[in-house]
Amino acid sequence: MTSAGGAALVESVHRFATLGDQNVGVYISAKADYVTRALLVMAAEPDGKPVTGAAIAKQQRMPMKFVENSLVDLKRSGLVASVRGTSGGFKLAKPANRITIADIIRAVDGPLAEIRGERPEATVYEGPAEHLQFVWVAVRASLRNVLEQVTLADVVAGKIPRKVLKLTENPDAWKPR
């Protein structure tokens, strides 16, 4: 598998399903995208050497202030550690093969799926919508089946898990709706 497969996965996760002019699909925030890319830069660093926010921002063409602020937030979440000194910067706080894309999204945006600020299992509906909760729980389970299976190490190596890549093989997966 080439790194193009990894890029394809990230691209497909960022697509929206639409109904008319209204988004009804999964939304991956700009912050989650930027932070994931920043962590991928760190994961790719040989021997886990620290990387400055400025270097990450330049390499990934992201706003430097945003990257630096996000890295400080990630330090609080335990995903990155800071290193002081002339060759300092930020590095992963644990091995890249132990940080999933789901971990990153949860650190910056909270739960993978919410309905009006509630977790899917907490929703209660009546009448014809009584069973809608099952749909929302299934959506969250589907997100988990992808995002909890892919680690930073997988993306950097271009070795996306087969069951995840299989989802992108259907040409319909690439078509916006």
pLDDT in tens, the chain (177 residues): 334 444 433 433 433 333 334 444 567 888 999 999 999 999 999 888 999 999 999 999 999 999 988 998 899 999 999 999 888 899 999 999 999 999 999 999 998 888 888 888 888 999 999 999 999 999 999 999 999 999 999 999 999 999 999 999 999 989 888
Domain ranges of the chain: 3-174
Instruction: Determine the pLDDT at residue 25.
Output: 59
Give residue 26's pLDDT.
67
Q: Rounded distance, CA 147 to CA 144, Å?
A: 5
Q: Name the amino acid, one letter, at 165.
A: L
| Antiparallel, parallel or unpaired: β 89-92 and 80-83 | antiparallel
pLDDT at 11: 39
Count CB atoms within 10 A of the CB of residue 65.
Answer: 10
CATH fold of the domain at 3-174: Arc Repressor Mutant, subunit A (1.10.10)
3-state SS class at 67:
helix
Q: Containing H/E element for 80? A: strand 80-83
Beta-carbon neighbour count of residue 63 at 10 Å? 12
Q: Is the separation of the CB atoms in 38 and 67 below 8 Å?
A: yes
Q: CA 21, CA 63: separation in Å to the nearest integer?
A: 29
pLDDT at 16 (0 to 100) = 35
Question: Token match 């929206």: residue?
Answer: 16
φ, ψ of residue 91 in degrees (nearest 5): -145, 165
d(CA 57, CA 59) in angstroms, rounded, equals 6
